[in-house]
Structure 1
Amino acid sequence: MASTILFVVIYLILNAFLVWYDVRQGLLPDRFTCPLLWAGLFYFGWFNPALLQEKVFGAIAGYGGFAALYWGYRFLRHQEGLGYGDVKFLAALGAWHGWEALPLLIFIAALLASGVVCLMTLKCRNLQIIKNPLPFGPFLAGAGLIIAYQSIFRSIVNLQP
């Protein structure tokens, strides 16, 4: 139990650093995304090896899906539409939440980002805000927390008689 709490704290701290960096500098540094990925894989490899394969596939699917999006957009538009830090961040979230959670995670992140853009547009009454780049990392982190809360809640409900 104490080891699980330690890894949850690591997850939360690394996510907080990633959100802070992305909001302030528009970057998701490898020095936080890589430890987040490896902490997730280490946790499941050590404490729940039955789920390790699913988590490895989650990391691969997260990386592969967003990398395809990154390179496809770059090929078609000759500019970045998504930062490569977001690719690595989704891989890390895939390592923690598994491949099955990724579609919902991406949907929630996109929904959160869309809501923020709508609110910012209404507040500023300026459509020019839509043309500014929006850091997507905070929304991925928020979606990861929502997915984590949902899975923890589900496991608690299943434990009760």
Structure 2
Amino acid sequence: MQSLVILFTTSPTLFYLIIAILGLCMGSFLNVVIYRTPLILKQRWTHECKQYLDPNFQPEPQQKFNLSLPASHCPQCQHKLKWYHNIPLFSWLILNGRCAYCKQSIALRYPLVELISMCCTVIVAYVYGPSLEMLAGFGLTWTLIALTFIDFDSQFLPDSYTIPLAMAGLLLNSWSLYTSPQQAIWGYLIGFLSLWLVYQGFKYFTGKEGMGYGDFKLLAALGAWMGPSMLALIILLSSSLGAIIGIILLKIHKESQPFAFGPYLAIAGWIAFLWGEKIMDYYWGYALP
């Protein structure tokens, strides 16, 4: 940490350049996480269901599939990519957005995630400076980016990410990194219960499930990081974003579509993490008479 402080003091430009490169590289890894996590879960669930239905079920030998194996390859032609095809953002630009082998278009999603990761990482560094808060903020930011796109794709927020995120918030705040230990615990509990009560009320009056349990766990995790004082702001921001984008999507598709709420919670949580106190101070100090 001391070396980061010295670098920031002596050469801020180099400091932010290194942070930007770190964000790009992490964005490249996040693309793997976003693409493979739903496939890994689907494979696991399929295996468990077959075993439940048939206790004598013997799975066929398959190629190992996780976040590291198999090596990066083109999803169209399955050709293994060279290391220089995986340079974040620049490889996509040099290849004109096409596979080096089959010339099929590479989804714009990949460089977009890398660019978002870079920008968000630099912003966190700018807000917190070289500190433990900055390093922990990187972890929160990258996890929220992954959860946002996973939920957009699959409408599922994996426990394997939301629960460790909550545990990390409670652990970090046991040393009062962002808020007190008591506030972190209450933030976790209130964050979970607030959406759980909304879910139960909606289900009682309509007979339908309005959201998934992953949304409760994500808001609980954000509460563990920031305490209960930010939960109202997160819910307000996420609801506003969700309503605006939901109306736009309804106009485009002309019919109701399944709606993922997790991405808007993640976006609102990230905003509150960086500027929540300033937003609340402005609201209480200026917006109210």
Query: What TM-score do you get using the length of structure 1 for normalisation?
Result: 0.84
Inter-partner Cα distance in structure 1 for 2:203 and 2:240: 23
Number of residue pairs aligned between Structure 1 and Structure 2: 150
**Does 2:237 align with 1:112?**
no
C-alpha displacement at 1:3, in angstroms? 2.8
> Out of 214, 222, 237, which is 1:85 matched to?
214
TM-superposed deviation, 1:37: 0.5
Choose which of 165, 186, 189 in structure 2 pairs with 1:60: 189
What is the aligned partner in structure 1 of residue 137 from structure 2? 8
Q: Say which structure, 1 or 2, has more relative contact order (CA 8 Å, 6+ apart).
A: 1
Question: Cα offset for 1:47?
Answer: 4.5
Q: What residue in structure 1 maps to residue 264 of structure 2?
A: 139
Of 30-39 and 70-79, more deviation after overlay is shown by: 70-79
Superposed CA offset, 1:40-93 (max 9, x none): 111111254961111111110011111111122223322210111001111001
Structure 1 unaligned runs (5+)?
155-161
Corresponding residue for 1:159?
Answer: none
Pick one of 17, 20, 27 that aligns with 2:156.
27
More helix by share: 1
Identity of aligned residues (%): 31
Where does structure 2 lack aligned partners over 5 or more consecutive residues?
1-129, 280-289
What amino acid does structure 2 have at the position aligned with 1:139? Answer: Y
Over the aligned positions, Cα root-mean-square deviation in angstroms equals: 2.0
Counterpart residue number, 1:38: 167
- Aligned 8 A contact 2:178 2:225 in 1: no
Moved more, 69-78 or 9-18: 69-78
State the distance in 1 between where 2:160 and 2:253 align: 38
Shift of 1:120: 2.3
Equivalent-residue separation in structure 1 for 2:229 and 2:159 (angstroms):
24
State the shift of 1:4 in Å.
Answer: 2.3
Q: Which has the larger radius of gyration?
A: 2
